[in-house]
Amino acid sequence: MGPLYPQELLNPEYNLLIGALIGIGFGFLLEASGFTNTRKLAGIFYGYDATVIKVFFTAALTGLIGLFILHNMGWIDITLTFYPKTFWIPTLIGGIIMALGFVIGGFCPGTSLSAAVTGKVDAMAFIGGVLLGIFGFIFTYDGLWQSLRTSGKMGKVNIAQWIGIKEGLFIFLFTIIAIVTFVVFQKWQDSWKRKMDDSDIDDLGL
């Protein structure tokens, strides 16, 4: 049955409309869960708030399990969904840069947009930085980044196939890793909060 758009079962116009609606819902939920607060987002790096890792792991696992079940039920053909090739060296470097941006600026690209529309000036400055980075990359791509961008080519890789285990088993192991991570970070957060004064926690505005 799905995905609808690659099989031309959905107009491009409706596709954009649905995308916009999902985007609005996503932004609304980010704001509602406090993800427009830089202190909450950066809290994962300092150990006083584990919300980010819980939310991201839960979202990834929900998508992973949901798509796997829907694919096996014949409702979504996962091979027709967007499945980029892996270049591990630029991905690793990009991940480190992204993490640095996250811990310094206190936002990731999506949350910065949500925060900017709530009027946060630091989020607007962050978006300015994002745009600067994008244009800087585009205009220096041929000279500086092209060889790095195409290094470490692995093709379309599925981690489970790469390791040589069944996809279902991989999902199960990943779930266990996520749960252990939840528990460890929660304990870390609890011990951190015990050390803090109540007034310090209030200052964070979480």
Partner 1 sequence: MKRREFLIMALLLLGGIIAIFMSDIKPLKHIIGPKQLLHEVNKKGRYISTDEVAKMIMEKDPTLLLIDVRSPEEYKKYTLDGAINIPAEKIMDDSNKDYFDSDVYTVVLFSNGSSLADQSWLRLRSYDYKGNKVMKGGLNEWYRTILNPQKPAGDAMSGKMEKQFLFRKGAQVYFTGATPVAGGAKKAKPAPTGKPIVKRKKKEVTGGCG
Binding interface with partner 1 (CB under 8 A):
1, 6-8, 54, 58, 61-62, 65-66, 68-69, 71-74, 77, 80, 166-169, 171-172, 174-176, 178-179, 182-183, 186
CA–CA gap between residue 71 and residue 79 (Å, rounded): 9
Beta bridge partners of 86: 155
Q: Which is nearer to partner 1, 64 or 124 (CB)?
A: 64
Q: Which of 108, 128, 122, 4 is nearest to 56 (CA)?
A: 108
109-117 and 12-32 helices, crossing angle to 10°: 80
Backbone Cα Rg of the chain:
20
CB of 7 to partner 1, least distance (A): 4
Q: Nearest approach, Cβ of 159 to partner 1 (angstroms)? A: 14
**At which residue do the structure tokens 């000036």 appear?**
121
Query: Which C-beta is closer to partner 1: that of 39 or that of 71?
Result: 71
Strands (E), the chain: 86-87, 153-155
Question: How far apart are CB 73 and partner 1 at their closest, in Å?
Answer: 6
**Nearer residue to partner 1 within complex by CB, 20 or 183:** 183
Least Å from the CB of residue 202 to partner 1: 21
